Amino acid sequence: MAATLVENRTLLKVDELKMYFPQGARLAWSAASTDKPGLRRVVKYLRAVDGVSFSIERGQTLGLVGESGSGKTTIGRAIVRLYEPTAGQILFWDKDQDKELDLASLDGEKLRQVRRRVQMVFQDPYASLNPRFTIGSLIAEPMQIYNTGSKQEIHDRVLELLKVVGLRPEYADRYPHEFSGGQRQRIAVARALSINPELVIADEPVSALDVSVRAQVLNLLQRLQKQFALTYLFVSHDLSVVRHVADRIAVMYMGKIVEMADRDELYSAPLHPYTQALLSAIPIPDPQVEKKRQRIILPGDLPSPINLPTGCRFRTRCPLAQQICSEVEPSFEAKDGGSHFAACHFAQKRAS
Ligand SMILES: Nc1ncnc2c1ncn2[C@@H]1O[C@H](COP(=O)(O)OP(=O)(O)OP(=O)(O)O)[C@@H](O)[C@H]1O
Ligand code: SF4
Ligand SMILES: [Mg+2]
């Protein structure tokens, strides 16, 4: 059955999203087929996102965490339709029409109009700003594309946006290379905000920045969220960063969400062995507690995303794996009858 949004309270609901990338074709001998036996063309797929569901309430932040290659960026890119999803729904509440729209199946002008409400801020502020344009023209560009006002109005808005993100209006005539990483990320945020989005997908927005400026950019994002009633999907591989910004957190492993819960619940009572291992790696500032802390070291490397393990895809690294884990894929379900979801046959709280 098609998913529906809970009135207008939920801004985004992603349902069973899949994003597979074909990995080239090869010829393989096939005997069991309705056709005659013979050589067949077989395409292997990299299952970057493999049936992911979550929703974000209006004005809230969902933190999406996981190791490199787990599929975080791919989800973001599929939502803004930089990728064509393989399957699933991306329901977005359209307040103008008072109804939900499926971004996964829209195209043409309808998609273009909804896309302006969903903006992405990328990880690398050095690569995401075209070095040949001034800051002013980079911030103005989305407004020009969507024709949001006269030349003068757009100019005035550029100056206002620079102030909003804590930069001087006279910077408008300078070029990206004249700015630090933190300043560039502020410029990228101003550009994303220029057309009044409702949802901002921030993909590792502080990972490329010096530790000293990370807090400033995180604070800016939080201030802007309040000021403009923004909803965030905040992507990071760092659970300690997400802790500061997210209301709810989803943990990804190899294309799947393995656990999702409210922030405090996830940190205080993680149920999935993968989340427990990730949390055990975060240093604790108190030296006494830090000394007693037991770090869970996961054995082995990440499996190949083209050849995923049978059953639970975490089983090759899981300290709790049993026979059933290789045979039956655990379903992603509410473990407390409420809002704490996990995909594990043996999900339970464990002493850390
Ligand atoms: N355009 C693409 N074509 C083919 N494979 C892709 C493409 N984009 C991503 N992938 C693959 O999909 C998987 C998920 O990649 P993704 O970039 O979403 O991970 P990530 O969680 O954002 O990682 P990181 O923390 O390193 O940014 C990886 O195995 C990656 O190689
Ligand atoms: S289902 Fe099994 S292998 Fe997977 S996380 Fe749970 S215990 Fe580990
Ligand atoms: Mg990424």
Q: Render pLDDT for 299-308 as a digit per residue (tens, 0 to 9).
A: 888 899 899 9
* Distance, CA of 42 to CA of 161 (rounded, Å): 51
Given a cut of 80, whether residue 238 has pLDDT beyond it is yes
Given a cut of 90, whether residue 350 has pLDDT beyond it is no
Which ligand has an atom closest to residue 252 CA?
1
* Distance, CA of 347 to CA of 22 (rounded, Å): 33
The rounded percent of the chain whose pLDDT value lies above 70 is: 94
Q: How confident is residue 93, by pLDDT bands cut at 50, 70 and 90?
A: very high
Distance (angstroms) between ligand 1 centre and the Cα of 21 equals 10
Bridge partners (DSSP) of residue 256 are 253
For residue 173, CA distances in Å to 112, 168, 188 come to 29, 11, 15
Given a cut of 60, whether residue 1 has pLDDT beyond it is no
Bridge partners (DSSP) of residue 89 are 15
Given a cut of 80, whether residue 288 has pLDDT beyond it is no
Ligand 2 cavity residues, CB under 6 Å:
273, 312, 314-315, 318, 320-321, 325, 330, 344-346
The rounded percent of the chain whose pLDDT value lies above 90 is: 74
Q: Which of 45-49, 166-170, 283-287 has the lowest mean pLDDT?
A: 283-287
Residue 70 DSSP one-character state: S
Instruction: Give pLDDT, residue 37.
Output: 73
Q: Find tokens 């990328």 and name the residue.
A: 122
Q: Which of 52-56, 210-214, 236-240, 293-297 has the lowest mean pLDDT?
A: 293-297
Q: Which region holds residue 336: left if phi is over 0, alpha if psi is between -120 and 50, else beta?
A: alpha
Instruction: Give pLDDT, residue 269.
Output: 93
Instruction: Give pLDDT, residue 277.
Output: 93
Instruction: Give pLDDT, residue 25.
Output: 67
Which ligand has an atom closest to residue 20 CA?
1
Q: Please, what is the average pLDDT of the chain?
A: 91
Instruction: Give pLDDT, residue 333.
Output: 94
Q: In what order do the strands lie in the sheet with 231-236?
A: 118-121, 199-203, 231-236, 61-66, 248-253, 256-262, 341-342, 333-334
Instruction: Give pLDDT, residue 119.
Output: 96
| pLDDT mean over 250-277 | 96
* Distance, CA of 216 to CA of 242 (rounded, Å): 15
Verify whether ligand 1 is closer than 6 Å to residue 73 (CB atom): yes
Distance (angstroms) between ligand 1 centre and the Cα of 71 equals 6
Contact present, 255 and 86 (Cβ < 8 Å): no
Q: Which of 1-5, 59-63, 65-69, 287-291 has the lowest mean pLDDT?
A: 1-5
Taking only the tens place, the pLDDT of each residue in 163-197 is: 999 999 999 999 999 999 999 999 999 999 999 99
Query: What is the residue with the minimal CA distance to atom 5 of ligand 2?
Result: 344
Choosing from 46, 121, 306 the residue with most ligand 1 atoms within 8 A of its CB, the one to mutate for a pocket test is 46
Distance (angstroms) between ligand 1 centre and the Cα of 350 equals 31
Verify whether ligand 1 is closer than 6 Å to residue 66 (CB atom): yes
Q: Which of 6-15, 266-275, 288-297, 336-345 has the lowest mean pLDDT?
A: 288-297
Instruction: Give pLDDT, residue 50.
Output: 96
Two structure tokens written together for 324: 């059933």
Q: Residue 322 CA: which ligand 2 atom is closest?
A: 2
Instruction: Give pLDDT, residue 17.
Output: 98
| Cα 163-236-123 angle, rounded to 5 deg | 50
**E strand segments, 58-137:** 61-66, 87-94, 99-102, 118-121
Two structure tokens written together for 154: 């757009």
Verify whether ligand 1 is closer than 6 Å to residue 63 (CB atom): no
Distance (angstroms) between ligand 2 centre and the Cα of 318 equals 6
Query: What is the residue with the minimal CA distance to atom 6 of ligand 2?
Result: 344
Instruction: Give pLDDT, residue 202.
Output: 96
Instruction: Give pLDDT, residue 2.
Output: 61
For residue 164, CA distances in Å to 160, 185, 189, 194, 200 come to 6, 13, 10, 11, 16
